Amino acid sequence: MHSNRPKATSDTSTIVRLYGALLVIAITVGALVTAVALRDKEIQDWRHHLGSMSYMLTEHTAQTVFSAFLVLDAITEQVRQMDVQDEAAFRQRLSTVEMHQLLRDKIQGLSQLDVASIVAANGDNINFSRAHPVPRINLAERDYFKAHRDQPHLGDHISTAVRNKGNGKWTFYVSRRLDDAQGRFLGLVLVGLSVDAFTGVYGRLIETLGDGASISLYRGDLTMLARAPHQDDLIGRVNHSGTAHRIINEQGQQDAVVLADTPRFSSGLSGLRLTAVRKATRYPLVVSLVVPDTIFLASWKRSVTLIASMSLLSIAFVLAGIGALSRTSRRRAQTEHELRESEAKFHTMVDGATDWEYWLRPDGSVHYMTPSVEQFTGYRAEAFERQPDLIATLVHPDDRTLWRQQVQAVGAPEATPSTARPLDLRIVHRNGSQRWVSHVSRPVHGPDGRHLGQRISMRDITERKASETEIRQLAYYDALTGLPNRRMFLDRLGHTLAATERNQTHSALVLLDLDHFKKLNDTQGHDVGDRLLVEVARRLALAVRDADTVARLGGDEFALMLDGLDPDEPTAARQAEQIAEKIHAILNQPYALNEANDDHRSSPSIGMTLLYGRSTPLDVLMKQADVALYQAKDAGRNAIRFFNPAMQAAIDARIAMENALRQALVLGQFQLHYQPQVDATGWHTGAEALIRWSDPVRGMVPPDRFIPLAEETGLIIEIGQWVLDTACAQLAQWATDPARQNLQISVNVSARQFHQSDFVERVRRSLAASGANPARLMLELTESIVIDRVDEVIDRMEQLNVVGVKFSLDDFGTGYSSLSCLKRLPLDEVKIDRSFVRDLVDDSNDAAIVQAILAMSHSLGLRVVAEGVETLAQRDFLLTRGCETFQGYLFGKPAPIAQWAGSGHSRGVARVSPLEA
């Protein structure tokens, strides 16, 4: 390929100026497009952000209102139990000091609730939580009173917000109509919610958003209840024109985030803004969050300013470059003319060469290329003139980066002969074949020292590379399995030790061999043995992670290096053990080694040691793993052993505990201890069955040491069945004792046990075999059970309800079960977790939680048992707030049945029980 085209200076300058103009246009258009795209993205990000915030606000608002409805439920239930028959009795019985105390107690500790009141049929406020006697107040003209009086079937009602004349604070009310047995209007009960409870949260959120943002709370008819920032003139007004009106009333949506510039409901002024509107699912409430463009476009405006500055700076550089290139092009034209004569002589010398030679100009274009390029690439030399980038596409992708770095380095004006370094790389022929070449690049300079480009020489070294690969394969890889051999494994092991020290992580060295492999070779031949080795190699490669190494050391011995384990030594050991167990399981699967695909069984013995740092020589580490391997064989083969004595001891202890746990059932080492449950008067109502393990070596083992292991190994199924059978047998025995025949036993059920497909049938069999009364059996479920596969849980509970079995929700309040989930479950009882009972006398948060649980449970008709009651103060607090049943050391510790006195009064209430254990 000969470059003989004249280079006219004027043409080059014109082209440079044209390209410069196009570049200026491209920069300008690009800046505009980027600005628009960034604006769209900023708005979209804010949409997602405001949508999430509106969801959070709506949930917070609903939870706050929910507390008022819980109190409303509790007061209504109390009035219903009074069975008031007429208005006179209503006034007499609901205006008492005791009712005032009840109202005060129900809202005590709930700062969001301002007042609770009872109103008679003529509007007189006959009792309320603030004071007693009650000031003369008539509420007949209030909107909520008229609504309940005139609409018997209205249901619960949320009022408009009103200002308290005494303290100037705003309040709105949730109310409920009260009727007599004939449906005649007796009055209503109402609970006031402080608007400050909402605006306080809203205000803190607005501070994080910035000036101009606002949050509004509307009633279902879009009457404003609260707003932050607060505006007196807006409270009580109905939104007939704003964004919330258009989304909820006109479009019928439940939630949306919209961009609008229409007049605002709050001010009547227009302006670009994002509005998030969400309607609460449980109550007729709507939350609206408004953010103006001064907030959500602030970051975009700063970005646009930066883009404009950078664009102007880029245009200035382009214009300066156009002038410089025009001057350079004139000088280059003269230089190329001088070189053209010497080029012809150069062609004569290299055109007949077998190596591929070419010359690149400083701009990367091809100045000259020998005809031999066609042998290397399948393309004629002229193709590279039309496609200057063709060379790069022919370099193998894995080698392309090094090639570019070399070409760029030698192509730089400051390059010298020492800059060039030979490269071995692959060229992809047009037909898809690959050839290895030796690439050498040399800088070219003119007589005046100016950089003129570079000369590149390519020599075919494909055969040499093939020989090197074959030699390396024989030296470092196992011929049968293709895995690294001992030499390569030890080399990698050395690098791994350095890496553990550098990265402060552990690695593990694993040695394994196949049990009875020699017998297989001797009986079925070496071909079958080789097939087993190949399949084992394949399974090992699949079982480990990408960063790990698998090697065959010889015969049936394999080695693995597990890299990147945890810096903590016990954790790293556990990780290595898990991988080893996975390998152990995979290699224990059957093998098809003959044409008949008959199953062959083979098992591995595995030895391991942890690696950290380079202080221990390689041969010592290999010996440690080898010792562990022999320990595995001595243990009966098909086993895993750690060399580290401490870790091996821990593994042995865990295995010993598991084996002992399996034997405990067979040898009858488990016992049930019973802890009494008492009612408000102190009489025993039943007991909770608690398992204990009396091990002849370990002594009395606490449940927290063996129950998790039983869960992990699946032994909890058998242990749980034993507990159920034993408890049912005890119920049957109590049925013959008049003093105890009405007691019930509560039995804890694990998640793994409950989700067994035959759980219901197991319970039925236990009841049938023992003859126990199902109505005296209470199964305790944790929240983690009931929130997982809810429909399946309900179905199993209902099947057992049919035969009379009851259910209790254990440790309530510590999990994540929702109220809607709780309402669906056929529960009979809720147990308050001991963590809330412990500090409820001194901790207002625990007290509020306990009161809320009691109110909710009573509204759902559930019995409540308080666990962990240890003091009279705790008992008295719970008793005055409606708790019916108690359990704890105050009434008795868990004890074997032989020491248990489960009848009569508890010592924590009246007199000392015989139970002192």
Virtual torsion, Cα 193, 197, 198, 202, nearest 10 deg: 170
C-alpha–C-alpha distance, residues 13 and 646, integer Å: 80
Instruction: Report the side by side order of strands in the sheet with 255-260.
Output: 224-228, 214-219, 285-292, 273-279, 255-260
Q: What are phi and psi of 172, to 5 degrees?
A: -125, 160
Supply the pLDDT for residue 351.
56
Instruction: Tell me the pLDDT tens digit for each residue of 534-568.
Output: 999 999 999 998 889 999 998 999 999 999 999 99
CB 625 within 8 A of CB 643: yes
Q: Is 802 exposed, middle or buried (0-12, 13-18, 19+ CB in 10 A)?
A: exposed
β-pairing, 885-887 vs 777-782, is unpaired
Show me where the domains of the chain are located.
Answer: 43-310, 351-468, 497-643, 659-899
Residue 198 · residue 61 · CB < 8 Å = yes
Helix ranges (DSSP H) in 288-399: 293-296, 298-350, 373-377, 381-386, 390-394
Cα-based distances in Å from 337 to 330, 359, 468, 598:
11, 16, 47, 81
Q: How far apart are CA 593 and CA 527, in angstroms?
A: 9
Q: How many CB atoms lie within 10 A of CB 396?
A: 14
Q: pTM of the entire structure?
A: 0.40
The tens digit of pLDDT for each residue in 476-503 reads 898 899 999 999 899 888 888 888 888 8
The reported pLDDT for the residue numbered 652 is 67
Q: With b meaning 16 or more CB within 10 Å and e meaning fewer, what string describes 358-388?
A: bbbbbeeebbbbbebbeebbebebebbbeee
The edge-to-edge listing of strands for the beta sheet with 557-565 is 549-554, 557-565, 506-514, 604-611, 640-642
- pLDDT, residue 387, reads 84
Angstrom distance (rounded) from CA 614 to CA 426? 38
> What is the average pLDDT value for the chain, to the nearest integer?
86
pLDDT of residue 914: 27
- In order of 729, 893, 896, 917, the CA distances from 670 in angstroms are 15, 18, 11, 18
pLDDT of 907 reads: 46
Calculate what percentage of the chain has a pLDDT beyond 70.
Answer: 91
pLDDT given at position 368: 78
pLDDT of residue 187: 93
Q: Report whether 129 contacts 104 (CB < 8 A).
A: yes
- The model's confidence at residue 869, banded by pLDDT at 50, 70 and 90, is very high
Q: Which residues of 854-864 are buried (b: 16+ CB within 10 A; e: fewer)?
A: bbbbbbeebbb
Q: How far apart are CA 499 and CA 479, in angstroms?
A: 29
Other residues' Cβ atoms within 10 Å of the Cβ of residue 88: 9
Residues 160-217: pLDDT tens digits?
Answer: 999 887 678 899 999 999 998 888 999 999 999 999 989 988 989 888 888 889 899 9
- Cβ-based neighbour number of residue 247 at 10 Å: 23
Q: What is the DSSP annotation of 73-140?
A: HHHHHHHHHHT--SHHHHHHHHSSHHHHHHHHHHHTT-TTEEEEEEEETTSBEEEESS-SSPP--B-T
* Segment 274-279 mean pLDDT: 90
Which pLDDT score, from 0 to 100, does residue 2 have? 46
For 597-607, the pLDDT digits (tens) are: 678 889 999 99
Q: Taking 50 as the threshold, does the pLDDT of residue 286 lie above it?
A: yes
CB 53 within 8 A of CB 276: yes
Virtual CA dihedral for 127, 129, 132, 134, nearest 10 degrees? -40
Long-range contacts of 156-161 (CB under 8 A, 24+ apart): 156/69, 156/72, 158/65, 158/219, 158/220, 158/225, 158/283, 158/284, 158/285, 159/190, 160/219, 160/223, 160/225, 160/236, 161/195, 161/224, 161/225, 161/226, 161/235, 161/236
Q: For residue 909, what pLDDT is reported?
A: 43
C-alpha atoms less than 13 angstroms from C-alpha of 597 in its C-beta half-sphere: 0
Give the bridge partners for 642, in sequence order: 608
- Where is 201: in which H helix or E strand? helix 195-209
pLDDT of residue 748: 96
Residue 234 DSSP label? G
Burial profile 665-701: b = 16 or more Cβ within 10 angstroms, e = fewer: eeeebbebbbbbbbbeebebbbbbbbbebebeeeeeb
Q: How confident is the model at residue 48 (pLDDT cuts 50, 70, 90)?
A: confident
| CA 483 and chain centroid, separation | 38
Phi, psi dihedrals of residue 589, rounded to the nearest 5°:
-70, 150
pLDDT at 344 over 90: no
Is domain 351-468 classified as CATH 3.30.450.20?
A: yes
4: confidence class by pLDDT, cuts 50, 70, 90: very low
Q: What is the pLDDT of residue 365?
A: 84
Report the pLDDT value the prediction gives residue 72, as an integer from 0 to 100: 93
Q: DSSP for 755-819, please give it.
A: TSTTHHHHHHHHHHHHT--GGGEEEEEEHHHHTSSHHHHHHHHHHHHHHT-EEEEEEETSS---H
Per-residue pLDDT tens for 887-908?
Answer: 999 999 999 998 876 655 554 4
The gap from C-alpha 146 to its chain's centroid, in whole angstroms, comes to 50
- The proportion of the chain whose per-residue pLDDT surpasses 90, expressed as a percent, equals 39
- Range 866-882 burial, b when 16+ CB lie within 10 A, else e: bbbbeeeebbebbbebb
82 φ/ψ sector (left φ>0, alpha ψ -120 to 50, else beta) = alpha
Rounded to 5 degrees, φ, ψ at 569 are -60, -50
pLDDT in tens, 398-427: 989 988 888 888 888 888 877 777 888 899
DSSP string, 407-444: HHHHTSTT--GGG---EEEEEE-TTS-EEEEEEEEEEE
Is 773 or 197 the better-scoring residue by pLDDT? 773
For residue 215, the model assigns a pLDDT of 93
The domain made up of 497-643 is a member of CATH 3.40.5.10: no
Structural contact between residues 689 and 674, judged by C-beta atoms closer than 8 angstroms? yes
d(CA 358, CA 391): 11
> Average pLDDT for residues 68-95, to the nearest whole number?
89
- Alpha-carbon gap, residue 437 to 426, rounded angstroms: 6
Tokens (6 digits) for 39:
């604006």
Quote the tokens at residue 325: 């290139």
What would the two tokens of residue 203 be? 């205000």
- Per-residue tokens: 788: 């997982």
Cα separation of 744 and 475, whole Å?
A: 76
CA separation for the pair 592, 132 (Å, rounded): 89
Q: Has residue 824 got a pLDDT over 50?
A: yes
From the list 771, 768, 730, the residue with the least C-alpha distance to 747 is: 730
Q: Tell whether the model's pLDDT for residue 267 goes beyond 60.
A: no
Helix (H) or strand (E) holding 189: strand 185-194
Q: Residue 245 pLDDT > 90, yes or no?
A: no
Q: Which strand (E) or helix (H) includes residue 509?
A: strand 506-514
Q: Give the C-alpha separation, 652 to 654, whole Å.
A: 5
What does the DSSP 8-state code read for residue 227?
A: E
Q: Do domains 43-310 and 497-643 have the same CATH topology?
A: no
The 8-class DSSP code of residue 713 comes to H
The CATH homologous superfamily for domain 43-310 is PAS domain (3.30.450.20)
Domain 659-899 class? alpha beta
